[in-house]
Structure 1
Amino acid sequence: MPRPSSPLLSPEIIGSAGLALARAGEPFGVNAIARELGVRPSSLYNHVDGMDGILELMRGELVEGYRVEWHGEPWDEFVLAVLRTQRRMYADHPQLVPLLVGKTITHPAVIAAYDDLASVLVDGGFPDDEVLSVIAVIDAFAIGFGLDLASPDEVWQPEGGTRTLGRLIDGAERGSARSDRTFELGVGLLLDSLRARLVGTPPVTGQASSRF
């Protein structure tokens, strides 16, 4: 029997199949991926180390699709691009967030993306002993605002009287307009704080830079 012109299974094929099932709202465990690919579940174990391995392959496929390449721009412009892209990535895949945040990152493509970010921050002047903390802040910001973008149009709906919140809700934007406005305020505050920390001066609280 002739060999197939392309491999039936590979880590990339398995990761892509799992991600496609997740995007469709379908189960994406070992059995589900095997059915999707038309193979026996045991065949997957020749390429992955169980469900943890599948999740890491899915993470790699996901990040590859939202990768931000550095082209020599200043660190704050690169961080802004990363935040915008990761926000969209997490908003597009909110069901994967709790599964991925509890797993150690090992996929080469994801490690490379973090290495780019770390290198840009170090080259931008951040001290080595703060860079991982800054990256963690960026991650938390992107995840939080990604989930916020995926939240319902009505975030708050008081059932009783309020002193202030109800009045503010009545005049506020809804849906993606609210989320976009909040993100722009937050990203301005974050970048202003990072710039201020870099030069050793306290940020001006509540006033975001007009640069972005």
Structure 2
Amino acid sequence: MPRPSSPILNPERIADAAIDLVDAGKPFGVNAVARALGVTPSSLYNHVEGKDAIVELMRGRLAERAAIVVPDGLSWDAVVEYVVREQRAMFAAHPLVLPLLVGKPVTDAGVLGYYDALAAALLSAGFADEDVLVVIAVLDAFALGSGLDLSAPNEVWRAAPNTALGRLVAKGEAGAERSDRAFDLGVELLLASLRARARAQSAGTEILDANL
């Protein structure tokens, strides 16, 4: 009698199983992912080196699902807005995965691709080399926080009605409506600040060039 065939493993199936586990709030690890896939841990180790490698597969798979590929021909600030908005949507869909992602270096080629496009856009705007990674870190923190905020409960603050916060909460938006408005305002403020900084740096360069 032929032996039952083992499920075919590939990076996509491994990543999907791991994402499903974490999204469901279940324990995550090599053994747990192997059980979810119906294989032995040793079979899984034939495809991944360990838990960290699975986390990176998850990162790449989320970006692949979200189809984050910076379109050609965008202005530098449009690239910034595109990446931040796409990241926020991706993070909001999988808030429990985020703590795993932020604790590991980014090595996935697809993810590095949109970060590289972001870096190139900022450099084209005139940002100094030493500022670009800092700006990217700020944008990352904003996208991460905004993604978590979108997955927050409708009632974020339970303030007493006789306080300033309580009065504002009582008449303000809630849930996704509040989160979307906060995000849109945050994008507007970030872009205005970055544009002003780019203009200031460009003006400083022009003055320096004129004095040479």
TM-score (norm 2): 0.85
Q: What is the DSSP-based 3-state SS (H/G/I as helix, E as strand, rest coil) of the residue aligned with 1:200?
A: helix
Range that drifts further, 20-29 or 149-158: 20-29
Separation in structure 1 between the aligned mates of residue 24 and residue 168 of structure 2, nearest angstrom: 36
Work out whether residues 161 and 167 of structure 2, in 8 Å CA contact, stay in contact via their aligned partners in 1. no
User: When the two structures are aligned, how many residues end up with a matched partner?
Assistant: 198
Deviation at 1:159, TM superposition (A): 4.5
Deviation at 1:23, TM superposition (A): 3.6
Question: Unaligned regions of 5+ residues in structure 1, if any?
Answer: 202-212
Q: What is the DSSP-based 3-state SS (H/G/I as helix, E as strand, rest coil) of the residue aligned with 2:127?
A: coil
Corresponding letter in the other structure for 2:32: A
Range that drifts further, 130-139 or 61-70: 61-70
Look up the match of 1:206: none
Separation in structure 2 between the aligned mates of residue 61 and residue 90 of structure 1, nearest angstrom: 12
Look up the match of 1:68: 69
Deviation at 1:160, TM superposition (A): 7.2
Separation in structure 2 between the aligned mates of residue 123 and residue 184 of structure 1, nearest angstrom: 24
Deviation at 1:169, TM superposition (A): 1.2
Deviation at 1:113, TM superposition (A): 1.9
Separation in structure 2 between the aligned mates of residue 53 and residue 44 of structure 1, nearest angstrom: 11
Question: Unaligned regions of 5+ residues in structure 2, if any?
Answer: 202-212
Give CA deviations for 1:78-135 in whole Å, capped at 9, x if unaligned.
2111111111111111101111111111122222221121112212322221111111
Deviation at 1:167, TM superposition (A): 1.2
Look up the match of 1:182: 182
Work out whether residues 68 and 81 of structure 1, in 8 Å CA contact, stay in contact via their aligned partners in 2. no
Look up the match of 2:39: 39
Deviation at 1:142, TM superposition (A): 0.2
Q: What is the DSSP-based 3-state SS (H/G/I as helix, E as strand, rest coil) of the residue aligned with 1:94?
A: coil
Look up the match of 1:121: 122
Give CA deviations for 1:4-24 in whole Å, capped at 9, x if unaligned.
8xx822333322321233344
Separation in structure 2 between the aligned mates of residue 172 and residue 80 of structure 1, nearest angstrom: 26
Give CA deviations for 1:48-89 in whole Å, capped at 9, x if unaligned.
121111111111101122213222110111211111111111
1:85-100 paired onto structure 2 within 5 Å? 85-100=86-101
Look up the match of 1:82: 83
Work out whether residues 14 and 54 of structure 2, in 8 Å CA contact, stay in contact via their aligned partners in 1. yes
TM-score (norm 1): 0.85
Q: What is the DSSP-based 3-state SS (H/G/I as helix, E as strand, rest coil) of the residue aligned with 1:188?
A: helix
Corresponding letter in the other structure for 1:32: A
Corresponding letter in the other structure for 1:108: A
Give CA deviations for 1:172-198 in whole Å, capped at 9, x if unaligned.
111111111111111100000000000
Separation in structure 2 between the aligned mates of residue 113 and residue 81 of structure 1, nearest angstrom: 10
User: Per residue, is there more helix in 1 or in 2?
Assistant: 2
Separation in structure 2 between the aligned mates of residue 54 and residue 181 of structure 1, nearest angstrom: 35
CA RMSD across the alignment: 2.2
